[in-house]
Amino acid sequence: MLDSARDSGLSRNGNFLVFKHPLDDPGNLDKIGNHRVLVANKPNEIASKITSETKTIMIAGISHFTKDSGIAELIDAIIRSNRQIIATGLNLASDGKPYGSMPEIMALADEIIVAKALCNQANCDSEANRSLKIKNKFEPRCAYHHKYTDGRPISIDRNGSLEIFAGPMFSSKSTSLEKAIKRYEIKQSPYIIFKWNKDKRYRGEINTITLHSGQRIQAYPINSYSEITDILSNKKNTQVVMIDEAQFIDGLYSLIYDLIPQGYKIICTGLPRGFNRKPFADFPKLMCLADDIKYKNGICVECHDPATENQRMKKINGSVISAHYSDPLIAVGGSDTNNVEYFYEARCLDHWKLDGEPKLRFELPSINNKH
């Protein structure tokens, strides 16, 4: 990409800025390949270089920025100023847990590409998106050989995986789940579907997932990961697990972390960020575990551009207003005990509103053109 940027002239006038964290390839401190870049270990060092001419920012090793550094707030400010940001980083640390600030960063992304290597375990030709630290060196490993470091060679079709359909409401995530169901029906592979037990949209029954088209899919209603464990214990031959609206399920991250090395193929749909543009529970952590992430967009109700945001609205005594920053993260569509009716719309960022939102930590000069 940097070769293409240089050849096309994007580096002129400071309109394309490239940064790297000093922990990213420290032996080649101010270079990425043959390209000389800026080095920054604090977000404000990046913000200070952004001018009205800057349209695209690339940050290598973004996962090395700590959670409390404000890197997620800087990314949000860059996006809201109509600029494009491209970032690379480690999704998982060597212990298999999310690396640093990556969940918060993934929650803000509108496209994610999961890069993979090949597992370095002997006789394993599976794809690897985990790293194992051995004698101060890192080796790529598949999920199975990351957990079972001396495990036997296994075939690719027995390798566990996590596939995620992410995006705002009204972006056809559940429709994508329906297509996955048909895929495994053709293969004649047993599967099981779970859903949050409080989701009754479109007057659906508690044991069905109702698509926006009105079609219903049978599913087990659950509230926490322990219920999944209990049901799977009685379905020994079922290795395909699908979970709709996974952001609502308590404790799901730790369960899926354990299921993948056991050979389960898991498919989740969910919201990376809530109505407040903040991470939605543990779903961004699940994205760090994923082998494949497909980001879906809706259609903005205001301008018909691609919609990336969940716009919560509330109807109080006949008046409709946008959500407030202090509102609870979870509010199911319909009336609550305070006689407030909630409903949601798909919006682009330009038409997304959040009353009472605190001032952003970083202020950047806005540019007019959309990315």
* pLDDT exceeds 90 at position 172: no
CA separation (Å) from 130 to 14, 117, 119, 218?
Answer: 35, 9, 9, 34
pLDDT band at 355 (very low <50, low <70, confident <90, very high): very high
Query: pLDDT tens digit string along 31-47?
Result: 888 888 999 999 999 99
Q: What is the pLDDT of residues 258-278, one digit of tens each?
A: 999 999 999 999 999 999 999
CA–CA gap between residue 269 and residue 130 (Å, rounded) = 22
**For the chain, counts of helices (H) and of strands (E):** 9, 24
**Are β-strands 220-222 and 191-196 bridged in parallel, bridged antiparallel, or unpaired?**
parallel
Separation CA 19–CA 65 (nearest Å): 12
Read off the pLDDT of residues 45-58 as tens digits, 9 standing for 90 and up. Answer: 999 999 999 999 99
Task: Determine the residue type at 290.
Answer: A
Distance CA 230, CA 235 (A): 9
Place of tokens 């760090």: 288
CB 110 within 8 A of CB 141: no
Residues taking part in catalysis: 245
pTM over 0.75: yes
pLDDT of 371: 42
Split at pLDDT 50, 70, 90, the class of 289 is very high
Can you give the three-state secondary structure of the chain, one letter per residue?
CHHHHHHHCCCHHHCEEEEECCCCCHHHCCEECCEECEECCCHHHHHCCCCCCCCEEEEECHHHCCHHHCHHHHHHHHHHCCCEEEEECCCECCCCCECCCHHHHHHHCCCCCCCCEECCCCCCCCEECEEEEECCEEEEECHHHHHCCCCCCCCHHHCCEEEEEECCCCCCHHHHHHHHHHHHHHHCCCEEEEEECCCCHHHCCCCEEECCCCCEEECEEECEHHHHHHHHHCCCCCCEEEEECHHHCECHHHHHHHHHHHCCEEEEEECCECCCCCECCCHHHHHHHCCEEEECCEECCCCCCEECEEEEEEEECCEEEECECCCCCCCCCEECCCCCEEEEEEECHHHCCCECCCCCCCCCCCCCCCC
Over the stretch 148-158, which tens digit does the pLDDT of each residue have? 998 988 888 78
Which residue ranges form the domains of the chain, and what is each CATH number? Answer: 1-89 (3.40.50.300), 306-351 (no CATH)
Measure the CA–CA gap between 109 and 242, rounded to whole angstroms.
23
State the Cα–Cα distance between residues 298 and 140, nearest whole angstrom. 36
For the cut 90, the answer to whether the pLDDT of residue 367 exceeds it is no
Across 172-176, 189-193, 336-340, 344-348, least confident range: 336-340
